[in-house]
Amino acid sequence: MPVVDPRTGVYDDATPWSGDAIFACAGEMAERMASHPWDRNVLGPPAQWPPVLRTTVSMVLRSKYPMTLTWGEQFVMLYNDAYVPVLGEKHPDALGSPLAEQFPEIWDAIGPMQRAVLQGGEATWDENLPLVLERGDGPEECFFTFSYSPVPDGDQPGGVLAVLSMTTSEVLGARRLAILNDVGAVSASDPKTAAAAIAAALDRHPSELPGGRVWLSEDAAPVVAAAFGEPGPALEAPTPAVGPTILGAGRTAWLGLGGGPSTQPRRRQSPSGRSAG
């Protein structure tokens, strides 16, 4: 059977596959896969892998786009260098381990999709899918655009190829721009009406601002003029970092966010664009 020579990327009837040939490219994951104890893994030694698995792994390793291949009923993970940032502290232990063990926090979301594709279903497509990951520093809200595609092995899929982008920065940037646009569109004839309108505008964005207060000051101590969402415990004074905004002569407004512990997932500005399981 002709196979793809991983060094040339062309079909070659004469060149046999070997474990070394599969990983004969530059990069951290090629080195890690070459030295991984596959003989103690459910996949077995690379020289004994099915031809389609060897070909797909070789292709994944040479891609600059984030990819992960999950193989077999256990969805054993094989991924490239570009996928490493997605894993956080799950790397390098994720290599050769079942996907469900590495991503239990999102398995209810991605598990059914992986199983459907492996069982002969069509490829999937999700755009800006929100997933709360545990990558080492507590829950983290992330967004991904990705596709799961079947990797044929004979008459049935043998694995699932995920090609993805982390879109967290883009999604959060669009959300925050929408907040600024809504607040900037507020028009009122007096400070109290303006404060109420600002609070109403902010209340339309609970995913970014779960709650807070709008304070007003007229040459005196600031007082709460309006509230939105779930402000949490009372704040004695507005936070300087989020104000002030001048509403008119002698009139200043501050925005104070809720003072209680946040129950929202943390947002880390991860590399955008070329960087879910």
- pLDDT of 225: 85
- How far apart are the C-alpha atoms of 186 and 110, rounded to whole Å? 41
Domain ranges of the chain: 3-166, 187-257
- pLDDT tens digits for the chain (277 residues)? 445 555 554 445 445 555 568 999 999 999 999 999 999 999 999 999 999 999 999 999 999 999 999 999 999 999 999 999 999 999 999 999 999 999 999 999 999 999 999 999 899 999 999 999 999 989 999 999 999 999 999 999 999 999 999 999 999 999 999 999 998 898 888 888 888 998 899 999 988 888 888 888 766 677 888 888 876 665 555 554 445 554 554 555 566 665 443 445 655 544 333 334 4
- Note the pLDDT of residue 256: 63
pLDDT of residue 195: 87
How far is Cα 30 from Cα 20, in angstroms, rounded to an integer? 10
The architecture of the domain spanning 3-166 is: 2-Layer Sandwich (3.30)
State CA 176 to chain mean position distance: 18
Instruction: Please say whether the beta carbons of 216 and 195 come within 8 A.
Output: yes
CA proximity to 80, closest of 93, 92, 62, 97: 62
Radius of gyration of the chain (CA): 26
In this structure, is the dihedral angle defined by the CA atoms of residues 201, 204, 208 and 210, taken in order, positive or negative? positive
Q: Quick one: which H or E segment has residue 20?
A: helix 19-22
Q: Whole-prediction pTM value? A: 0.75
What number of other Cβ atoms are within 10 A of residue 220's Cβ?
A: 8
